[in-house]
Amino acid sequence: MSLALGVDRSSPVPLYYQLAQQLEAAIERGALTPGSLLGNEIELAARLGLSRPTVRQAIQSLVDKGLLVRRRGVGTQVVHSQVRRPLELSSLYDDLEAAGQRPSSSVLVNTVVPASAEAAAALGVAEGDEVHRVERLRLTHGEPMAYLVNQLPAGLLDLDTGRLEATGLYRLLRSAGITLHSARQSIGARAASAPEAERLGESEGSPLLTMERVTFDDTGRAVEFGTHTYRPSRYSFEFQLLVRS
Amino acid sequence: MSLALGVDRSSPVPLYYQLAQQLEAAIERGALTPGSLLGNEIELAARLGLSRPTVRQAIQSLVDKGLLVRRRGVGTQVVHSQVRRPLELSSLYDDLEAAGQRPSSSVLVNTVVPASAEAAAALGVAEGDEVHRVERLRLTHGEPMAYLVNQLPAGLLDLDTGRLEATGLYRLLRSAGITLHSARQSIGARAASAPEAERLGESEGSPLLTMERVTFDDTGRAVEFGTHTYRPSRYSFEFQLLVRS
DNA sequence: TAGTGGTCTAGACCACGAC
DNA sequence: TCGTGGTCTAGACCACTAT
pLDDT in tens, A120-172: 999 999 999 999 999 999 888 888 999 999 999 998 887 788 888 878 888 88
Most confident of A82-96, B57-71, B163-177, B199-213: B199-213
Q: Do B187 and A85 touch (CB under 8 A)?
A: no
- Band (pLDDT 50/70/90 cuts) for residue A207 is very high
Res A96 pLDDT > 80: no
Taking residues B183-194, what's their average pLDDT?
Answer: 95
Per-residue pLDDT, B2: 47
Res B240 pLDDT > 90: no
- What is d(CA A79, CA A65) in angstroms, rounded to the nearest whole number? 11
Per-residue pLDDT, A94: 79
Taking residues B119-133, what's their average pLDDT?
Answer: 96
Per-residue pLDDT, A159: 77
Q: Do A181 and B79 touch (CB under 8 A)?
A: yes
CB contacts, 8 Å: A200 with chain B: none
Instruction: Chain B: give the shortest CA distance to residue A125, in Å.
Output: 13
Taking residues A64-70, what's their average pLDDT?
Answer: 91
Per-residue pLDDT, B155: 83
Taking residues B23-34, what's their average pLDDT?
Answer: 90
Q: Do B218 and A79 touch (CB under 8 A)?
A: yes
- Band (pLDDT 50/70/90 cuts) for residue B87 is low
Q: Is the pTM of the predicted complex or chain greater than 0.85?
A: yes
- Which of chain D's bases lie under 7 Å from a protein CB? 3-12, 15-18
Let me know: does B133 contact B112? Beta carbons within 8 Å: yes
Identify residue B64 by its one-letter amino acid code: D
- Min mean pLDDT across A229-233, B139-143, B150-154, B188-192 is at B139-143
- Band (pLDDT 50/70/90 cuts) for residue B147 is very high
Per-residue pLDDT, B166: 78
Q: Return the SS3 of A168.
A: coil
Residue nearest to nucleotide C5 (CA to C1'): A72
- Band (pLDDT 50/70/90 cuts) for residue B85 is low
Per-residue pLDDT, A243: 83
Per-residue pLDDT, A1: 44
Taking residues B118-144, what's their average pLDDT?
Answer: 93
Q: Is B181 within 8 Å of chain A by CB?
A: yes
Res B210 pLDDT > 90: yes
Q: Do B220 and A83 touch (CB under 8 A)?
A: yes
Per-residue pLDDT, B1: 44
Q: Is A223 within 8 Å of chain B by CB?
A: no
| CA-to-C1' span, B12 to D8 (A) | 28
| CA-to-C1' span, A70 to D19 (A) | 20
Mean pLDDT of chain A, nearest integer: 88
Residue A86: half-sphere exposure toward Cβ, Cα within 13 Å: 11
Could you write out the three-class secondary structure of chain B? CCCCCCCCCCCCCCHHHHHHHHHHHHHHCCCCCCCCECCCHHHHHHHHCCCHHHHHHHHHHHHHHCCEEEECCCEEEECCHHHHCCCCCCHHHHHHHCCCCCCCEEEEEEEEEECCHHHHHHHCCCCCCEEEEEEEEEEECCEEEEEEEEEEECCCCCCCHHHHHHHCHHHHHHHCCCCEEEEEEEEEEEECCHHHHHHHCCCCCCEEEEEEEEEEECCCCEEEEEEEEECCCCCCEEEEEECCC
- Min mean pLDDT across A105-114, A159-168, B133-142, B174-183 is at A159-168
Per-residue pLDDT, A214: 94
Identify residue A4 by its one-letter amino acid code: A
Q: Indicate yes or no: strand C within 7 A of the C-beta of A171.
A: no
| CA-to-C1' span, A14 to D6 (A) | 9
Taking residues A24-37, what's their average pLDDT?
Answer: 89
Mean pLDDT of chain B, nearest integer: 88
Q: Do B188 and A34 touch (CB under 8 A)?
A: no
Q: Do A35 and B220 touch (CB under 8 A)?
A: yes
Per-residue pLDDT, B105: 80
Res B86 pLDDT > 60: no
Per-residue pLDDT, B18: 94
Count CB-CB contacts under 10 A for residue B18.
19
- Band (pLDDT 50/70/90 cuts) for residue A22 is very high
| CA-to-C1' span, B215 to D5 (A) | 37
Nucleotide minimizing C1' to CA distance for residue A41: C5
Per-residue pLDDT, A162: 82
Per-residue pLDDT, A176: 85
Res A101 pLDDT > 70: no
Q: Indicate yes or no: strand C within 7 A of the C-beta of A9.
A: no
Most distant CA atoms of chain A, gap in Å: 67
Taking residues A49-67, what's their average pLDDT?
Answer: 93
- Band (pLDDT 50/70/90 cuts) for residue B78 is very high
Most confident of A70-84, A180-194, B90-104: A180-194
Taking residues A175-195, what's their average pLDDT?
Answer: 92
Most confident of A106-115, B76-85, B90-99: A106-115
Res B140 pLDDT > 90: no
State the burial class of residue B81 (Cβ atoms within 10 Å of its Cβ: 0-12, 13-18, 19+).
middle
- Band (pLDDT 50/70/90 cuts) for residue B118 is very high
Per-residue pLDDT, A203: 96
Q: Return the SS3 of A188.
A: strand
